[in-house]
Amino acid sequence: MGPSLFATTPTSASLSPEEYNEKVYYCLSCHSLHILVDEGLADGDWDGSYCAKCGSTHVGQCAIGEWLDEEDRRKAKRKEIEWNK
């Protein structure tokens, strides 16, 4: 995995209201923010966007603050699963 865009991972609480509401695209399969667009692949219903991590073409959009909140929930769930093994 490549270098992070952030020196430390921000939390939704650390964002200003403008930053919290900034829209991002993310993979609906693996939740990665690493979305690429190949306009040469685009057709009528698909804009050519896909996840660089897993290759999925299922891409969603939300506010970065919402994505961070959901990422925190996913991490907590993974830890819970690990603790219960």
pLDDT for residue 34: 94
pLDDT for residue 11: 66
85 residues of the chain, pLDDT tens digit each:
444 444 455 666 777 888 888 899 999 999 999 999 988 777 877 788 999 999 999 999 999 989 999 999 998 888 888 888 7
pLDDT for residue 29: 96
Query: Torsion over CA of 72, 9, 37 and 45, rounded to 10 degrees?
Result: 20
- What's this model's pTM, rounded to 2 decimal places? 0.72
pLDDT for residue 20: 80
- Vertex 41, ends 40 and 42: CA angle to 5°? 95
Three-class HEC string of 20-72: HCCEEEEECCCCCCCEEECCCCCCCCCCCEEECCCCCCCEEEEEHHHHHHHHH
pLDDT for residue 15: 75
